[in-house]
Amino acid sequence: MDLQDFEAEDLYFNATIDPEIAILLEEASGLYPQPEAETLLLRAYFLAPEDLNVLVALYRYFYYQHRLPDALNVAHKAIAVSGKRLHLPEDWRHLTRLHLGQGVLVSMTLTRFYLMAHKGAGYLEMRLGELADAVGRLQTLVDIDSNDRLGAKALLTLAQEHLYEQQGVAVLRKVAGDSGRSHINLH
């Protein structure tokens, strides 16, 4: 799949798309990476803020522009929209296999999209140094997906390693500060 392809048929959900929105997404795809692409995507978002095609296109745009905080905000919006359609808890910390089973009865593809959006959010949280959130979110996915079909286990391991490293550095800094040895260089 082309990384800049915004067409709806390649996504994890089945949805009809408004022709005006489809045109905006197609034009944005053709203009990437120019700033005009973002303008078109934001116009599409203004017209259809809960259209998952638009949210995925915005997410991809921000992600490939290395605007990770913006991409994470869009991931959160996509999770909220898809979760609402699936009647899932608003807070991922309360998500269970039973909830997902009920979501699958609504739409298997939308449930998969929802889970992949969580995986993407966990990855972005890890990249942004929000390690406790990343570990919590990814651990929830691993707990729900015991066969690791989503591939979240490897990301969880990496996020845990970074979190443990971060916590270890914080402890060392505290010890160094408490003992008056501020000359220790940890980086």
Residue type for position 19: P
Tokens at 141, concatenated: 């996915």
pLDDT computed for residue 172 by the predictor: 65
pTM over 0.75: yes
Give the dihedral sign, CA 87/13/152/56: negative
Number of helices (H), then strands (E), in the chain: 8, 0
Could you tell me if 74 and 54 are in contact, meaning their C-beta atoms sit under 8 angstroms apart?
no
Please list the rounded mean pLDDT of every run of 10 residues in the chain (187 residues): 37 74 95 93 97 96 96 98 96 92 92 95 97 95 91 94 83 63 47
Contact 59, 71 (CB under 8 A): yes
Q: For residue 44, what are the contacts with CB-CB under 8 A and spacing of at least 6?
A: 21, 24, 25, 28, 51, 54, 57
The secondary element (H helix, E strand) that includes residue 80 is helix 68-85
